[in-house]
Homo-oligomer: A and B are copies of this chain.
Amino acid sequence: MPGPATYFDPARSGELDPRTRDLVERRQRVLGPAYRLFYEHPLELVRGQGTSVWDSDGVEYLDAYNNVPSVGHSHPRVVAAMAAQAATLNTHTRYLHEPTIRYAEDLLGTLPAQVGTVMFTCTGSEANDLALRIAKHATGATGVIVTSNAYHGVTTEIAAISPSLGGAESVADAVRLVPVGPSASTSLERGVREAIASLAAAGIRPAALIVDTIFASDGVLPDVAGFAGAVEAVRAAGGLFIADEVQPGFGRLGTGLWGFDRYGVVPDLVTVGKPMGNGQPIAAVLARPELLEDFGRSVRYFNTFGGSSVSIAAAQATLDVVRDEGLIANAAGVGGRLLASLVELAGRHEVVGEPRGVGLFIGVPLVDSATTLTVVNALRERRVLLSASGPGNDVLKIRPPLCFSDGDAARLVGALDAALAGV
């Protein structure tokens, strides 16, 4: 999640134009203080197509941030699939529905053979909640190891393993945090071994190591040292490895569909979500079947909307488009060239650190969070949308729809260059 600095400050609503101020005030009244808006000047979006979105004045923006509409805003094949299914039937998984089975087979075919079962939910939070519940059930253990600025979701159970949320509720007693960073000197394996020892000293066995395989909230880290060793270490201690693919999954990294593949490991559980249905609320837990044997017998789990007909139709269309339009290769190609341009740009601006990333998930560290805030808002004024990430909230997060073109990338780099010239 982006840090607070990238949000609108309600105390400054007097600076807004009348329509925006009215909307902000109405919204504040009915949605309350937990809801936040992006940008110093909040954006009212009314339309999207491909990598473009339009505000209520008809102004077009380049979307370099939203990973949910991963095959592009309002993709006609996804829209058509949803509309057709909604007009035909939209029901749950206690009736047989061939497209649900076919999609499950299709999805599982993209994963290592050991990960042979899927359970559908509606959100990544629900998927991580269920995965952790399965891991605790299967191991009989309670310890959880996460990275030090991890974000895995917002259910009560998952908020308690999400230190990036801050606040008094985080982090639960049986949770241990391990540092990660862009430098090869920070080894995930070493951190995990220390976490296991710390849990053991408290009489706690690890149920799971769970990591976002692109480490988005830790600042976007494409090459974390000691990844495979960390997985081995948690297994040696009786725990499971959960790969959280909610952000990196479905082709964004340009190296196949899944982030864990890049580290040569096979997870025990995989969670997927955000881009799965291009905006339709669908997510899933994928698991080694043996982990579900006792869980499936003794725990009754049913998710009313999980894998419902329209959600499956959206997910199937999205996966088809990723393949048919070659979006993984596009993420690799455009993303690689964009990263090279950003490295070149970094050489010309003192406040920019070393850009890092893989495919269309790129982090650009800036000198501090104040500068990052300024740049994020300056880009919004220049009609390019992105946000910030990282424990210090000082990393530009670039995470556009996967149909991002070289032209889009050039526009982003040009706008960033100009924004940086203004700080």
Q: Which A residues have a C-beta under 8 Å from some C-beta of B?
A: 1, 20, 23-24, 26-27, 29-38, 42-48, 53, 56, 66, 68-69, 73-74, 76, 78-79, 82-83, 86-98, 100-101, 104-105, 108, 116-119, 122-126, 129-130, 132-133, 137, 154-157, 159, 165-169, 273-274, 278-282, 287, 289, 292-293, 295-306, 308-311
Contacts and interface: CB of A to CB of B under 8 A. Distances in A.
Interface secondary structure of A, over-half rule: mixed
Contacts of A133: 156, 159, 169
25 contacts: A23-B101, A29-B116, A32-B117, A33-B293, A34-B292, A37-B95, A44-B96, A44-B98, A45-B97, A46-B88, A47-B89, A56-B98, A66-B91, A74-B86, A74-B87, A74-B90, A82-B83, A90-B278, A122-B126, A124-B304, A125-B303, A154-B301, A154-B303, A165-B300, A281-B308
Contacts of A124: 304
A30 to B, nearest CB: 4
Nearest to A87: B79
Contact of A281 (B82, B101, B281, B301): B281
| A-B pairs with lowest CB-CB distance, top 10 | A33-B296, A83-B83, A34-B296, A281-B305, A90-B279, A44-B96, A156-B157, A32-B117, A30-B104, A281-B281
Given A33-B296, A155-B157, A273-B304, 18 more contacts: A1-B302, A20-B96, A27-B96, A30-B105, A31-B101, A31-B104, A32-B292, A34-B292, A35-B93, A43-B95, A44-B95, A48-B91, A53-B91, A69-B91, A82-B82, A132-B156, A274-B304, A281-B281
Contacts of A56: 98
A304 B122 CA distance: 11
A308 B293 contact: no
B154 A105 contact: no
A69 B76 CA distance: 25
A275 to B, nearest CB: 10
A97 B86 CA distance: 23
A124 B74 CA distance: 27
Contacts of A129: 155-156
A118 B96 CA distance: 35
Contacts of A78: 86
Given A30-B101, A156-B157, A297-B33, A279 B91 contact: yes
Contacts of A68: 91-92, 304-305
A168 B86 CA distance: 38
B74 A281 contact: no
A279 B300 contact: no
A354 to B, nearest CB: 28
Contacts of A287: 32
A271 to B, nearest CB: 14
A154 B155 CA distance: 11
Nearest to A33: B296
Contacts of A76: 87
Nearest to A30: B104
Nearest to A35: B93
Nearest to A156: B157
Nearest to A300: B165
Q: Which among A166, A168, A302 has the greatest number of chain B C-beta atoms within 10 A?
A: A302
Contact of A305 (B46, B123, B289): B123
Contact of A292 (B1, B33, B74): B33
A24 B300 contact: no
B48 A73 contact: no
B82 A86 contact: yes
